[in-house]
Structure 1
Amino acid sequence: MIGLRRTSGFDGSFAAHGRDARVNGSGTGGQRMFMDHNKEVFDSARVAAAYVEYAGPTDGFLDRGEAAALVAAAGVARGTPVLDVGVGSGRTTALLRLLSDRYVAIDYAPNMIDSFRRNFPDLPAHVADARDLTAFTDGEFGLVVFSNNGIDTVTHDERVRVLAEFHRVLGKSGTLVFSTLNRNGPSFGERPFQLSRPTQRFVFSPRAVMTAIARRLLDPAGVVRSVANWWSGRSRVVDRGTWAVAPLAAHDFAPFMHFTTVSDVRSLVTEAGFTIAEIFADDGSVVAADAIASSADNFTIVARK
């Protein structure tokens, strides 16, 4: 899967945690429920342990879009201080340290930062939230990176706050790179027992069916979690057309994520005071400046202050 990995994850669902408010991205109660739930997901020991295997000096990019975006950013951001947001266990650390020795990592999940410190004990790392970067001064960084669709863990309204903080801590002509899930891509609307992903054509073959069955037999507990999480979350899906909020198949459908569109993400970035340099699809292709739609699974945006 592009973006968040399809690994075993959180054991609970919204229903299991007594959260009955609709996740609509508006209203204090809905926002708090959305944010608290996702933080619990990514701070769980199971999810933190799953991310450890993706950290280390030999790791590469999640997809071609991420690779193309960081190459594009390197020319202007090389040697400047880097803030790695939502670092997890450190998958992006070796990649970003190729650009600069001045590197700082943050994540809002303490378990993730603990994992990062075990992998990179000599690098600065802090528990911090992208919505509140008051620990950092104005213009402190030349490059801010928020990979792996991390911005999608907050509500539609909170995305504005995140970008405002990024704009503040970036210096003059600073560069922002972040990835975000596409509402018109295959990750939106997935189901536990699907044989093909949404928007992707299913080609029947005995091998494909047997592979799908074998994966479920090898992890029956994961199947139970996936069905329970998806079932409890399906009535809370919000689809506004230009953006949506829905469960993500990663971590057994535990995360409730924001999905964008080309028009929505353009508005988000430009209204935050950035100029978009490029938008890359997950296959590494450039989303044309006049494109009104895309079937990419996610986008990686390169923007300049």
Structure 2
Amino acid sequence: METEDWLTDTRVSYDTVAEGYADQVRGALARPGYLRAALTLFADAVREAGGGPVADIGCGPGHVTAQLHALGVDAFGIDLSPGMIDVARRDHPGLRFEVGSMTDPALPAASVSGVLAWQSLIHIPDGDIPAVLGHFHRAVRPGGVLHLLFHVGDTSRVKTEGYGGHPMRVPVHRRRPERMTAWLREAGFTVEAQLLLDPDGPAAQAFLFARRD
């Protein structure tokens, strides 16, 4: 797929499923577990790096941004889908959300102390990953932190339905942690920690914690 095509398909798809997706994830972080623990680790790392604003890129309906805010992080959300941003602003009116793409984020150099991208890089083609991570590196202050969550595997597919049975057309790429780690190092990050969720199951996921050199 050409870059313009997959970006448009992804934006339109998430506009279509915004309400259903928000209903599905609402409350996902309310109970203790690995997801909340990972966000707590990230929040601690941001404070250790001196604090400051954090960009939740691919924020969807804003539930992760809100959890970071509850942990004392000055977090704001960016998402490709205007529909998702509308839901985020409605559900979390005290927080900042804006429409934008990680392929060209409107973040000035060294303007944030951290970037979080949970299950959003999964939609980016391999050929565009180095540029996206380069944007992240440029935006993060020296010593700042990056936190990723993504599906583990070697396959790519086009998701055609989801979140209430609505039609979608969105690419989903599964990647090995070692591949993502190599890309991060090439972009100028140092990978500090890795955690696998359900590594032997059909829906394995990986957390990576990295820091800008």
TM-score bracket, shorter-length normalisation: 0.7 to 0.9
String of CA shifts for 1:179-238, please: whole Å, max 9, x gaps: 11111xxxxxxxxxxxxxxxxxxxxxxxxxxxxxxxxxxxxxxxxxxxxxxxxxxxxxxx
2:213 aligned with 1:298 = no
Instruction: Tell me by how many angstroms 1:259 deviates.
Output: 1.3
What residue number does 1:222 align with? none
String of CA shifts for 1:15-52, please: whole Å, max 9, x gaps: xxxxxxxx4xxxxx3x33333222221122xx101123
Match of 2:131 among 154, 158, 161: 161
Decide whether the 8 Å contact of 2:43 with 2:73 is kept in 1.
Answer: no
C-alpha distance in 1 between matches for 2:31 and 2:120: 13
Decide whether the 8 Å contact of 1:66 with 1:300 is kept in 2.
Answer: no
What residue number does 1:190 align with? none
Q: Which secondary structure state, in structure 1, belongs to the residue aligned with residue 173 of structure 2?
A: strand
2:161 aligned with 1:246 = no
2:40 aligned with 1:71 = yes
Q: Which secondary structure state, in structure 2, belongs to the residue aligned with residue 92 of structure 1?
A: helix
Instruction: Tell me by how many angstroms 1:70 deviates.
Output: 2.2
AA of the residue aligned to 1:99: L
2:188 aligned with 1:273 = yes
Instruction: Tell me by how many angstroms 1:249 deviates.
Output: 7.7
Say if 1:119 and 1:175 are closer, same or farther in 2 by CA, change over 3 A.
same
TM-score (norm: length of structure 2): 0.84
Q: Which is strand-richer, 1 or 2?
A: 2
Q: Give the unaligned 5+ runs of structure 1.
A: 1-22, 24-28, 184-242, 286-292
Instruction: Tell me by how many angstroms 1:301 deviates.
Output: 1.0
TM-score (norm: length of structure 1): 0.60
String of CA shifts for 1:119-141, please: whole Å, max 9, x gaps: 122322110111112x3221111
Q: How does 1:187-266 map to 2 (within 5 A)?
A: 243-248=154-159, 251=162, 254-266=169-181
Say if 1:101 and 1:177 are closer, same or farther in 2 by CA, change over 3 A.
closer
Instruction: Tell me by how many angstroms 1:61 deviates.
Output: 7.0
Please, which moves more after superposition, 158-167 or 69-78? 69-78
Say if 1:62 and 1:295 are closer, same or farther in 2 by CA, change over 3 A.
farther
2:86 aligned with 1:114 = yes
Larger radius of gyration between Structure 1 and Structure 2 = 1
Identity of aligned residues (%): 25
C-alpha distance in 2 between matches for 1:80 and 1:294: 37
String of CA shifts for 1:59-105, please: whole Å, max 9, x gaps: 41799553343233232213431111111111112310133352221
Match of 1:129 among 80, 85, 101: 101
Q: Between Structure 1 and Structure 2, how many residues are aligned?
A: 205
C-alpha distance in 1 between matches for 2:4 and 2:191: 30
Instruction: Tell me by how many angstroms 1:117 deviates.
Output: 1.0
RMSD: 2.7
